[in-house]
Copies of this chain bind each other. A is one copy, B any other.
Amino acid sequence: MKIALAQLNYHIGNFENNILKAHQAIEKAKEQNADLIVFAELAVSGYPPRDFLEFNHFIEKCNDAVEDIALKCEGIAAIVGAPVINWEGKGKPLYNSAVFCENGTIKTIRNKTLLPNYDIFDEYRYFEPNHQFDCIEFKGKKIALTVCEDLWNLDHNPLYKLNPMDELIQQKPDLMINIAASPFHFEQARIRKDVLTRNAKKYKLPLFYVNHVGAQTELLFDGGSLAINDKGGIVHEMKYFDEDIKVFDLDDVNASKTEAINHIAPAQVIKEEKIELIHDAIVMGIRNYFNKLGFKKAILGLSGGIDSAVTAVLAARALGGENVYCVLMPSQYSTEHSVSEAVELAENLKCKHDIIPIEDAYHSMEETLSKQFEGTEFGLTEENLQARLRGVILMGLSNKFGHILLNTSNKSEAAVGYGTLYGDMNGGLSVIGDVYKSDVFRLAHYINKDKEVIPHNTIVKPPSAELRPDQKDSDSLPDYSILDEILYQYIELRMGPVELQMRGYDEELIKRIMKLVNTNEYKRYQTPPILRVSSKAFGFGRRMPIVAKYLS
């Protein structure tokens, strides 16, 4: 039996596009004599469709798409992920299903059992869990067909009370197929390979695994679909960050001698590969955000600092330098070297760039507010004014020329609220909002590894917002190295103040940082979607009350 795995980049709700992609993949698979083609979880709708799932019309379009794909299944069978109506009349209205199509029609359906409902996942909002377990017979083979999370209860995950494969294995299947939507973070591919290969090894079955690829707003799918033999050895790993279709002969996979290896790496290895992975993921994220929205050109403010520099490089790599418009908006507090470094970078990237000084606009705004501000001192308000006037300029250009504004804030700033709402926090998409400042530096070094793209001085000078004379980030924030460590442990690892103290951090510093994080939730509530590259990004995966008083 020949099995084609179709790792495709779907577009949520764009049924025409998704069906066309499926049709083309079926043609390709047929050309290579595949008996069966496997598409990803919720392939017809794209993942995650969120509350579109609550619209009957949307579900009808999903059904139509499945039937459309089924019609193409002559001489080939297909497994396709789709939301399917729960006709039982009890429980949630839908299942998250794997639909088995053969001979131009839907032959049978298997539903997802373990529904993730944590972090960015909301599946219990829409779907009823499955409680029936049956293999599918096809060409004399028994297929244990599951959906994504269904294989993630190997070690008796405390979240779940069932393990679907423990049920299915009783029917003595010949192979496992799992269709998935497993979003990227920089450790996820290793975790995924670990879980999937251990499934194959435990049940002594080959496993064919199909993931999504491409970005859906903030969620990045890295692909990396797998064919694994019954020893848990990876026979083939499909492309990362790109579409891929590959046909496997079941006999060849069964005959493969590849042995299982340990995919979980020591911290040092993770650290080394992390920056490249984040780089590639973000480039894909920007590219898909633009092409799925039908836009070509980006605009951003280039300050001479490292955050906007790294953002500009990533944008240029995603969209082409000619499609990235860099705007320098110096004020009286901007240093000369910042302007010259920003120009140098824009030239290195072959980006169009303009210098638009904000002094006149700033003075005019001071004048406008002079009566109200009379007798007050220059302070945070005036710093914010500069950032907001820059925001007005960038949005004006964005509106006028149809460019999407890219936000250049990093995760450390977003965490502690070091940024101006409706100023530098503006943008359609936050590019590095899930990258701590320390990793922004690493990204800059990685970008410069072969030649100097980002001017050296941009990387080595002390970070500054340049909103008042001789300002440095370190005037108001702890050193980024310590700040980022504490933030990581609080945000990603969800440690409390006592645990952090036990790890040797200063009690007052912990308190100050946690207070900053918690009291700035109101700012993060209004920020653009953030490309997610860590296991806990701000946005949909981290849901916090605004009006609260806890560690604040």
Contacts from A to B (Cβ < 8 Å): 11-15, 17, 46, 48-52, 54-58, 60-61, 89-93, 117-118, 122, 124-125, 156, 158-161, 215-217, 288-289, 292-293, 354, 356-358, 360-361, 363-365, 367-369, 371-373, 376, 380-381, 384-385, 388-389, 391-393, 395-397, 399-400, 421-422, 426, 428, 494, 496-499, 522, 525-529, 540, 542-552
Contact B117 A217 (CB under 8 A): no
Q: Among the listed B49, B91, B384, B551, which residue makes an inter-chain contact with A399, where contact means beta carbons less than 8 Å apart?
A: B384
Interface contact B496-A547, CB-CB below 8 Å? no
Q: How far is the CB of A13 from chain B (nearest CB, A)?
A: 3
Task: Give Cα A368–Cα B397 distance, bound, in whole angstroms.
Answer: 11
Copies in the complex: 2
The distance from the CB of A3 to the nearest CB of chain B, in whole angstroms, is 30
Task: Say yes or no: B161 contacts A49, CB within 8 Å.
Answer: no
Q: Are B92's CB and A159's CB within 8 A?
A: yes
A12-B547, A365-B361 known; A400+B376 contact, CB < 8 A:
yes
**How many Å from the CB of A287 to the closest CB on chain B?**
12
Please, which residues of chain B bring their CB within 8 A of the CB of A385?
392, 396
User: Which of B61, B422, B548 is close to A391, meaning CB atoms less than 8 Å apart?
Assistant: B422
Contact A50 B368 (CB under 8 A): no
Q: Are B91 and A159 in contact (CB under 8 A)?
A: yes
Complex contacts, A357 vs chain B, CB 8 Å? 368
Contact A544–B361 (Cβ < 8 Å):
no
Bound CA span A550–B391, Å: 30
**Contact between A372 and B358 (Cβ–Cβ < 8 Å)?**
no
Structural contact, B545 and A292, CB atoms closer than 8 A: no
Asked if B369 and A360 make an inter-chain contact with CB atoms under 8 angstroms apart, the answer reads no
In the bound complex, CA of A527 to CA of B392 (Å): 17
A400 touches B428 (CB 8 A): no
Known: A217-B547, A496-B57. A358 touches B368 (CB 8 A): yes
Cβ 8 A contact of A293, one of B376, B498, B547: B547
- Of B158, B161, B498, which one neighbours A93 at CB under 8 angstroms? B158
Report Cα–Cα, A52/B527, bound state, in Å.
20
A369-B356, A525-B529 as given contacts; A292 in contact with B91, CB under 8 Å: no
- Which of A57, A422, A544 has the most chain B CB atoms closer than 10 A to its own CB? A422
User: Which residues of B lie under 8 Å from residue A363 when comparing CB positions?
Assistant: 364
